[in-house]
Amino acid sequence: MDNIYLIIVIVLLGLAALDLVVGVANDAVNFLNSSIGSKVAPLWVILTVASVGILIGSLFSSGMMEIARSGVFHPGMFTFPQIMMLFLAVMVTDVILLDVFNTFGLPTSTTVSLVFELLGAAVAVALFNIWQTDSGVLIDYINSGKALTIISGILVSVVIAFAFGSFIMWISRVIFSFKYKKTFKYAGAIWAGLALTAITYFAIFKGLKNSTIMSKDTLNYIHDNIWLVLTYILLGWTVLMAILQHIFKVNILKIIILAGTSALALAFAGNDLVNFIGVFMAGLSSYEIASGVAAAGGDITTLKMGELAGPVSVDWRYLFGAGIIMILALWFSKKARSVTKTEVNLSRQNEGIERFNSSGASRSIVRSAINMSKLFKTITPKPVLNFIERRFTPLSAEERGDASFDLIRASVNLTVSALLISVGTDLKLPLSTTYVTFMVAMGSSLADRAWGRESAVYRITGVLTVISGWFLTAFIAFTVAAIVAFALMYGGIYAVVGSIILVAFLMYQFTRIHKKREKAEEVQDNEISDEHDIVLNCTREIEKSVETTMYIYKNMIDALFNEDRKELMKLYKVADEFHGRQKRRRTYEVLPTIQRLDQNSLDTGQYYVQVVDYFYEISVSLRYMTESSFKFIDNAHEGFTAEQIEDLKTLGNGILDIYKDFDKMIEQGDYSGLDTIKERRASILDLYSELVKKQIKRTKNKDTGTRNSILYLNLLNETKVIAMKSVNLMRAQMNLHNSDDFNRVNEFEDLRI
């Protein structure tokens, strides 16, 4: 048998391992968001509990491996070479698609991805076969009903999960309020009993229903006597929780959340494992079938793969290996943190920097909600309204701590998610774990009034973005898998090699993009706790910014003189990135930083805000200057005259000399020369006025063209702005430095980057 098929099997194995990593990065949000958002325990405890669930679920993975083999298409219609190319196309697409979602921190359904990738690749290979043989009908190859069932399941699960999450959370908050400890003392055991019963039901019917850990007879008995079984489970959990709460003084809410985390992780591994290794296992089975036929002297090129529709038997070692890879990815994948962070940020109780912008749809929804709220208040009796308002009175920042939401909401998220998924599974509804858990979390956030007037439009935009991504998943998965399958069928071995190179290249690029996004979105989480820390961090940032400003300005003048288009384009990119960094500082860092200051550090906060703001304005000028200069040269306009360049250099050198002296002041912590710099600024402004007059004279004499004059005057004006803002910046930095009671210059020297 041709070695190409062995190579494809090996490639499928490698892609399956990679798919496990990117799959866990996306699906981890399903079982981590509640525990991480509520800070129920240290991260290592949460990950350990989830890891136990993953390992158990993977070892007793359900018999859903047939989805990859015969759930979407009829394998008997495909030959061995065709089925191998089909599987390779699916795996290449799945790895790329999931990593795209992970890179941008958006949760999606790995089940929907797999099904539509299988569908797209199967359609492509079937069409290729039909065109080559000029016979057959597409419908004979495809099980199209599966796709329609999943799409309908998406619509139903999204609406139901959001509605139930909102309703149960609202009832829970009315019962317990935000100050729940007193009420929970009396009703906590019953609450915990109900929650753990739902989680147990979920673990049995979703996580282990089709596994080998429980016999069919046992499952059938439980199913036939479900209400009796649930009653006993409820009584058992309630009594146990009462003992733990009142005798051993255990916070039983933490038990609920950690148990729910483990149960969801178990179900994820038990049911979604097929999404990552199912295609490889199907490919391996195909290879083994073909090897047997080849050994008997048969022709594998015409071998139909109908045997794939038979029963599936998976070696436990593959399941164990898959479980270990998933656990390692859970612990070490940064992209898993990004996806989890998206959901936690959208559902957090406290205000802060929002990741998403507002949109027309979100603004319309918020306005409608406000009008409905006003209507509700007018028709609700005043005593009832006052009672509800008291139950929803939020805790202060000190009482709330740094958790995104409290343990009550976390337990609601896990309990409702587990209950809906298990009921849906029992009713044979095609629910997605991702869709249900996400929408329950969003519904509970809405009911808990986490989406206030300050944040509602941004949170709703985020939710709409994620939901739209879900529907795009099916279309993109189908389309990309079909394209890759066509390429493999037509390109053969060359396309196989090309697909491997494509995956490696895109994974590398996505990793780079993710690192940039992490750097752009981080909100100075390095524990700036007092004014001295602010001075040190701000001063370090100023040093870098001064160096960048000098580099951009000096090289821009030289590039203009030489009409160096490539250098100007490079400088524009540097200036644009510099502007973006200063904008992010002003948007994302200022508020969290000054919030950490105490009441005695108001001067430090004031000067810090000034420093950031002045550098932002300087970055705007630099970006405009480099962009205008690049467009000027890129459009092949007539360059500056030698006199113009000389005048610009004279003006620019004055700015650069000021910055050099400022850099020395920062290094030495001595700002006594600032008065001298102010005098030099006055000289620069006088020179600016003279150069403007000279250019006006050139323009009247028609010594320079219109475009030339416009750019030249703009550069002069922006240079004047930089001179004025720079001295203001230096004064603000001096005041910031002097506001620091420590003035520990030596310590700063040790900490400099």
Domain final position from 521, 549, 579: 521
Same domain? For 474 and 556 the reply is no
CATH of the domain at 609: 1.20.58.220
Express as a percent the part of the chain with pLDDT over 90: 27
Domain final position from 474, 491, 521: 521
Res. 126 pLDDT band, cuts 50 70 90: very high
Residue keyed to tokens 């001179």: 723
* CA 639/CA 517 separation, integer angstroms: 38
* CA 47/CA 258 separation, integer angstroms: 10
Residues 6+ apart with CB under 8 A from 414: 34, 195, 199, 256, 257, 260, 261, 263, 264
First to last CA, the chain: 60
Same domain? For 506 and 572 the reply is no
Res. 751 pLDDT band, cuts 50 70 90: very low
Q: What is the pTM of this model?
A: 0.73
Res. 529 pLDDT band, cuts 50 70 90: very low
**pLDDT at residue 572 is higher than 90:** yes
Residue 352: the pLDDT is 61
3-class DSSP state for residue 359? coil
Residue 481: the pLDDT is 94
Which tokens belong to 535? 């001075």
Q: Which of 548, 428, 71 is nearest to 279 (CA)?
A: 71
Residue 436 in domain: yes
Same domain? For 513 and 566 the reply is no
List 304's β-bridge partners, or say none. 79
> Mean pLDDT over residues 439-461, rounded?
85
Same domain? For 577 and 443 the reply is no
Which tokens belong to 343? 């959901």
Can you spell out the DSSP letters for 131-169?
A: HHHT---GGGTB-THHHHHHHHHHHHHHHHHHHHHHHHH
Same domain? For 242 and 134 the reply is yes
Amino acid identity of residue 588, one-letter, is Y
**Number of domains observed in the structure of the chain:** 2
Residue 748: the pLDDT is 36
Give the length of the chain: 753
Residue 401: the pLDDT is 74
Same domain? For 53 and 196 the reply is yes
Residue 245: the pLDDT is 93
Domain final position from 521, 541, 557: 521
Residue 346: the pLDDT is 79
* CA 200/CA 256 separation, integer angstroms: 11
Residue 485: the pLDDT is 95
Residue 1: the pLDDT is 59
Residue 526 in domain: no
**pLDDT at residue 750 is higher than 50:** no
Residue 638 vs residue 219, higher pLDDT: 638
Residue 570: the pLDDT is 93
* CA 631/CA 609 separation, integer angstroms: 33
Q: Which of 496, 138, 479 is nearest to 283 (CA)?
A: 496
Residue 207: the pLDDT is 56
The boundaries of the domain holding residue 568 are 531-751
Angle at 598 between CA 595 and CA 600, to 5 degrees: 135
**55 close to 327: Cβ distance less than 8 angstroms:** yes
Residue 285 vs residue 69, higher pLDDT: 285
Element (H, E) at 418: helix 407-426
Q: Which of 447, 486, 442, 449 is nearest to 466 (CA)?
A: 442
* CA 574/CA 555 separation, integer angstroms: 11
* CA 743/CA 324 separation, integer angstroms: 51
**64 close to 274: Cβ distance less than 8 angstroms:** yes
If one counts every other C-beta atom within 10 angstroms of the C-beta of residue 484, the result is 27
- Sign, CA torsion 32/38/43/48: negative
Which tokens belong to 636? 């092949």
> Mean pLDDT over residues 419-426, rounded?
74
Res. 429 pLDDT band, cuts 50 70 90: low
Least confident range of 170-179, 386-395, 586-595, 709-718: 586-595
What radius of gyration do the chain's Cα atoms show?
32
> Mean pLDDT over residues 466-487, rounded?
88
Residue 23: the pLDDT is 83
* CA 652/CA 551 separation, integer angstroms: 12
**pLDDT at residue 753 is higher than 60:** no
**pLDDT at residue 524 is higher than 60:** no
Query: What tens digit of pLDDT does each residue of 323-376 get?
Result: 899 999 889 887 777 777 777 777 887 766 666 777 888 888 888 888 888 888
Instruction: State the helix-helix crossing angle for 493-521 and 80-103, rounded to 10 degrees.
Output: 10
**pLDDT at residue 752 is higher than 50:** no
Residue 214: the pLDDT is 66
Residue 742: the pLDDT is 40
Least confident range of 193-197, 451-455, 725-729: 451-455
Same domain? For 548 and 507 the reply is no
> Mean pLDDT over residues 371-393, rounded?
88
Least confident range of 252-266, 275-289, 394-408, 688-702: 394-408
* CA 33/CA 611 separation, integer angstroms: 37
**pLDDT at residue 231 is higher than 80:** yes
Same domain? For 607 and 731 the reply is yes
Which tokens belong to 168? 């149960």
Same domain? For 422 and 313 the reply is yes
Residue 417: the pLDDT is 86
If one counts every other C-beta atom within 10 angstroms of the C-beta of residue 291, the result is 15
Res. 130 pLDDT band, cuts 50 70 90: very high
If one counts every other C-beta atom within 10 angstroms of the C-beta of residue 552, the result is 19
Residue 155 vs residue 719, higher pLDDT: 719
Residue 11 vs residue 745, higher pLDDT: 11
List 73's β-bridge partners, or say none. 142
Same domain? For 573 and 482 the reply is no
Res. 427 pLDDT band, cuts 50 70 90: low
Query: What tens digit of pLDDT does each residue of 137-161 get?
Result: 888 888 777 667 766 776 788 888 9
**pLDDT at residue 63 is higher than 60:** no
**pLDDT at residue 744 is higher than 80:** no
Residue 422 vs residue 511, higher pLDDT: 511
Express as a percent the part of the chain with pLDDT over 70: 90
Res. 525 pLDDT band, cuts 50 70 90: very low
Residue 746: the pLDDT is 38
Residue 523: the pLDDT is 44
Same domain? For 538 and 516 the reply is no
Res. 93 pLDDT band, cuts 50 70 90: very high
> Mean pLDDT over residues 541-567, rounded?
87
Q: Which of 126, 144, 19 is nearest to 72 (CA)?
A: 144
* CA 607/CA 731 separation, integer angstroms: 9
Res. 617 pLDDT band, cuts 50 70 90: very high
Query: What tens digit of pLDDT does each residue of 163-205 get?
Result: 999 999 999 999 999 988 888 988 999 999 999 998 888 777 6
**pLDDT at residue 686 is higher than 80:** yes
Using CA atoms, how far residue 686 sits from 603, 657, 676, 682, 689, in Å, is: 33, 16, 16, 6, 5
> Mean pLDDT over residues 724-742, rounded?
79
If one counts every other C-beta atom within 10 angstroms of the C-beta of residue 266, the result is 26
Residue 412 in domain: yes
Same domain? For 537 and 517 the reply is no
For residue 354, report the phi and psi dihedrals to the nearest 5 degrees: -95, 140
Res. 241 pLDDT band, cuts 50 70 90: very high
Least confident range of 243-257, 455-469, 545-559: 455-469
Q: What percentage of the chain's residues is helix, strand, coil (to nearest 5)?
A: 80, 0, 20
Chain centroid, CA 193 distance in Å: 34
> Mean pLDDT over residues 489-496, rounded?
89
